[in-house]
Amino acid sequence: MALTSNQRGLRKRFLVTLSVAVIGLAAGVAGWQLWPHECGEAQLNDKADGECIGITDGAYVFNDPDKAKTPTDRKIMENINDVQKLIKIENDAVTAGSSRYVKVALLMPLTVSQARPPAILLREILHSLEGSYVALHRANHSPAFGDPSAVKIQLLLVNQGSRQNADPDFIDGILKISQMNHPLVAVVGLGASVPNTKTAADYLAQRGIPMVSAVASADSLTHLPLLWSVSPSNTEYAVRLKSFLDQQHVLRSGVIVYDRNPDLFTQSLAQAYHDQLGLYVKFPDQPFQGSTINTPAAPDIFFPVVTNLCNAANDPNAPLDMVFYAGRVADLGPFVEALKTRTCRQRPLTMLVVTSGFAGVQDTVGDLRGETIKLGVATSADPLSLGRNEPGTPPGYEAFRAEYYAQGFNDSPNSLDGFTISHHDALATATQAIRLAAIGRPTQAPNAEDVAGQFGHLNLAYAVPAASGTLSFRSEGGTATGEPIPIEQIG
């Protein structure tokens, strides 16, 4: 990430005051507890994971680049810390320059485990923070999502760790950042679709806090109270894949390969495949034990799966030509590597994948040129398709991209992906509801109940001009309408 000269100057001033900022945080923002170990003012998550978790206004950085396993991870951690510092600078500017501001919490994993593959990759954490910061800066310095003079936004960062901690004491810590004149009015992000996502959402809803999820797509999360989503649901992804398959006449015979772990995302996606793509499923489902819940994957977990796929590929009546993958990106790389050495390599195979982070899939599977494997990736808010500026490109995308590059986030072709856009759009959506709730309140900041009541107005004249599309929402919650689902090809 390349910081602008203005940002570098601000960062220097930030570093001078960092030590006092962390001390002041305990009283003013997050109620840190002092723990005598390597996490300092934060809490230590499970020792095997080795993650520092908790709440900060940006002053406390959760990632230590000195503990990175690779030079690439070190660079990403350094960039994550840089974005946190920019968020801290913006938060300080809000408190110094306005008496009317409210708090929004970004709840998600901001670190990865030292021992187990995560559901959200380190690069995706960086992209999520970049998108959140761009939305925060736009919210406080432009009328993109309502009048910024009505009420400013302060963004607090809540690191759940890679296991997405949802213990009541931990979630209660989020509620404690609320103040009489500066209340907590929304929670955004919410991480990946795992059981703890629902646990956290239920707990927050019971306490009247509206939420906007960024990338969680499990169908079981789409009808929870006070939860709105800028991501398509797994059923919506599967419907898009069906439309894609119905319009071509090459791929006809598929099988579902799914992670058997108790994972809301993979379970929901496998069911959505069955419900929407049943006519294309010709063979029994193939399970595997994925690595992103509690234990690392066993060696050669895909050996029996690949053997059965080759058996199906040689079927005389409906030879297998595609796989519907219902697993995490962390397990996709090993699966692709296993397919590269399959005995039936002479038979081409297309794998259909659903993800919010297309760049993460590209990084994971690498170059497939010369292989008899292709990937068709259904993704939300894909910058590759949006950046082509083709007819149908959302009108809000160009303004988002201009601000993204203006903030210096332009150091590589993969610096912007669906996680960037989805987290930007989640905070943009919450901001627009906050600004509507502030109308007619010249002296008092809106509270969480006021904000929750405005999501049903985020349509028609108040549809959100998000980067992924012009998004409309219903009062009862659920996924947004108005977001296209592109399908990109690898290989």
> Is 490 part of a structural domain of the chain?
no
Q: How many domains does the chain have?
A: 2
Residue 111's nearest CA partner among 73, 168, 85, 82 is 73
CB 279 within 8 A of CB 322: no
Task: Say which amino acid occupies 174.
Answer: I
Residue 201 resides in a domain: yes
For range 35-54, the mean pLDDT: 72
What mean pLDDT is predicted for residues 387-393? 67
- Same domain? 147 vs 272: no
- The enclosing domain of 288 has a CATH number of 3.40.50.2300
Annotate 335-363 with b (16+ C-beta within 10 A) or e (fewer): bbebbeebebeebbbbbbbbbbbbbbbbb
Non-local CB neighbours of 243 within 8 Å, separated by 6+ positions: none
CA dist., res. 44 & res. 139, Å (int): 33
User: According to the model, what pLDDT value does residue 21 have?
Assistant: 33
Q: Are residues 173 and 251 in the same domain?
A: no
One domain for residues 410 and 464: yes
More confident residue, 352 or 329: 352
Position 384 confidence tier, pLDDT thresholds 50, 70, 90: low
Is residue 59 in a domain? Answer: yes
Write down the pTM of the prediction.
0.89
What pLDDT score does 413 carry?
52
- Of the candidates 241, 316, 328, the one whose C-alpha atom is nearest the C-alpha of residue 282 is 316
Q: Which of 378, 355, 383 is nearest to 239 (CA)?
A: 378
Q: Examine the pLDDT at 293 and tell me if it is beyond 50.
A: yes
Whether residue 251 is found in the same domain as residue 126:
no
Q: Tell me, what's the pLDDT at 49?
A: 77
Q: Is residue 386 part of a domain?
A: no
Same domain, yes or no: 20 and 166: yes
CA dist., res. 130 & res. 82, Å (int): 10
What are 449-483's pLDDT values in tens digits?
999 999 999 999 999 999 999 999 999 999 999 88
Q: Does residue 250 share a domain with residue 221?
A: no
DSSP 472: B
Q: Which band of pLDDT confidence, cut at 50, 70 and 90, is reported for residue 388?
A: low
Residue 298 has pLDDT above 70, yes or no: no
Percent of the chain with pLDDT over 70: 87
156: β partners: 105
Residue 30 has pLDDT above 70, yes or no: no
The answer as to whether 489 is a domain residue is no
Give CA angle at 474 (468, 478), nearest 5°: 70
Report the amino acid identity of residue 479: T
Cα dist from 181 to 209, 219, 264, 290, whole Å: 16, 36, 37, 46
Rounded to the nearest 10°, the torsion over CA 213, 215, 221, 225 is: 10
Which three-class secondary structure state does DSSP give residue 359? helix
284 lies in some domain: yes
Torsion of CA 176, 180, 182, 183, to 10 degrees: 50
How far is the C-alpha of 177 from the C-alpha of 184, rounded, in Å?
A: 7
Specify the higher pLDDT residue, 188 or 358. 188
With contact defined as beta carbons under 8 Å apart, do 358 and 460 qualify? no
**The pLDDT of residue 385 is above 80:** no
271 shares a domain with 366: yes
Tell me if 387 is assigned to some domain.
no
Query: Higher model confidence: residue 13 or residue 168?
Result: 168
**Statement to judge: residues 108 and 28 lie in one domain:** yes
> DSSP string spanning 240-262?
HHHHHHHT-SS---EEEEEE-SS
The whole-number pLDDT of residue 440 equals 87
Same domain, 225 and 240: no
403 plus 475 within the same structural domain: yes
Residue 256 dihedral angles phi and psi, to the nearest 5° = -95, 125
The domain boundary, picked from 349, 379, 409, lies at: 379
Together in a domain, 19 and 107 = yes
Q: Encode pLDDT of 188-209 as tens digits.
A: 999 999 999 999 999 999 999 9
What is the pLDDT averaged over residues 172-200?
95
- The token pair at 378 is 């259904």
Q: Range of 108's domain? A: 5-232+392-483
**What are the b/e assignments for 453-481, b being 16+ CB within 10 Å?**
ebbebbbeebbbbbbbbbbebeeebbbbe
Q: Please check whether residues 472 and 396 belong to one and the same domain.
A: yes
Q: Which of 353, 379, 405 is the last residue of a domain?
A: 379
Nearest CA to 486 among 397, 363, 411, 370? 397
**Tell me: the pLDDT tens digits for 125-166?**
999 999 999 999 999 999 999 999 999 999 999 999 998 999
**By the 8 A CB rule, do 230 and 455 touch?**
no
- Residue 295 is predicted with a pLDDT of 62
End of a domain among 355, 379, 403?
379
Q: Does residue 1 carry a pLDDT above 60? A: no
In a domain, 385, yes or no: no
